[in-house]
């Protein structure tokens, strides 16, 4: 697969609607054509200790950030006609659908592929965390749980195994 958009969300709390950042890497003809990152004002607007511990984002980081519909207006033209790819698509697709519902936006039924599921078929043994599989594909993920870094790692994996 040579044309796709790798996407990653981070959330502020346990609610799928609480996306607080998005990273996107657009791949065309097997090459990275574009990158996009944005903080997002989460809904509901609170952070749990555990989520902040994972990605390092806090309320102060997103207090003045745009809400999801404003961010998605910038993302939409970048991904037009492309399948979305995520490492653990169940999480990212669930978040995307939830936030579309939250803001009463029409969900265009994006096709989603999963590098996690594919990596389990390619390498049945061992761990399949994003950083582990990225390393197997020759990508050094140095800023794990930063949405753009994770999207870049996902894109590297997808180029190798999808």
Predicted pLDDT at 149:
98
31-39 β-sheet, strand order: 31-39, 19-28, 4-11, 84-86, 112-114
Joined tokens for residue 87: 């490492």
Residue whose C-alpha is closest to residue 111's, from 122, 96, 99: 96
Residue whose C-alpha is closest to residue 59's, from 95, 18, 7, 4: 18
Predicted pLDDT at 14:
97
Chain-centre distance of CA 54, in angstroms? 14
Taking the whole predicted model, whether its pTM rises above 0.85 is answered as yes
Cα angle vertex 28, ends 133, 148, to 5°?
50
Predicted pLDDT at 1:
87
Topology classification of domain 4-161: Nucleotidyltransferase; domain 5 (3.30.420)
**C-alpha–C-alpha distance, residues 74 and 69, integer Å:** 9
Residue whose C-alpha is closest to residue 2's, from 62, 78, 85, 70: 85
Residue whose C-alpha is closest to residue 34's, from 5, 8, 66: 5
Domain ranges in the chain are 4-161
For the chain, which residues score pLDDT lower than 70?
none
C-alpha distances out from residue 147 to 22, 71, 133, 153, Å: 5, 14, 17, 10
DSSP letter at 44? Answer: S
What tens digit of pLDDT does each residue of 33-80 get? 999 999 999 999 999 999 999 999 999 999 999 999 999 999 999 999
């Amino acid at each position: 697969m040579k044309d796709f958009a790798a996407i990653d969300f981070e959330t502020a709390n346990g609610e799928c609607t609480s996306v607080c950042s998005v990273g996107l890497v657009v791949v065309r003809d097997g090459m990275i054509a574009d990158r996009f990152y944005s903080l997002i004002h989460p809904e509901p607007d609170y952070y749990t200790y555990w989520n902040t511990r994972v990605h390092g984002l806090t309320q102060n980081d997103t207090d003045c950030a745009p809400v999801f519909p404003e961010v998605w207006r910038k993302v939409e033209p970048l991904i037009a006609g492309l399948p979305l790819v995520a490492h653990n698509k169940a999480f990212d697709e669930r978040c995307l659908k939830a936030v579309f519902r939250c803001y009463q936006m029409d969900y265009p039924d994006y096709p989603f592929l999963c590098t996690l599921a594919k990596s389990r078929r390619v390498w049945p043994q061992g761990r399949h965390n994003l950083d582990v599989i990225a390393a197997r594909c020759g990508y050094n993920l140095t800023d794990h749980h930063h949405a753009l870094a994770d999207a870049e790692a996902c894109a590297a994996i997808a180029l190798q195994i999808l």
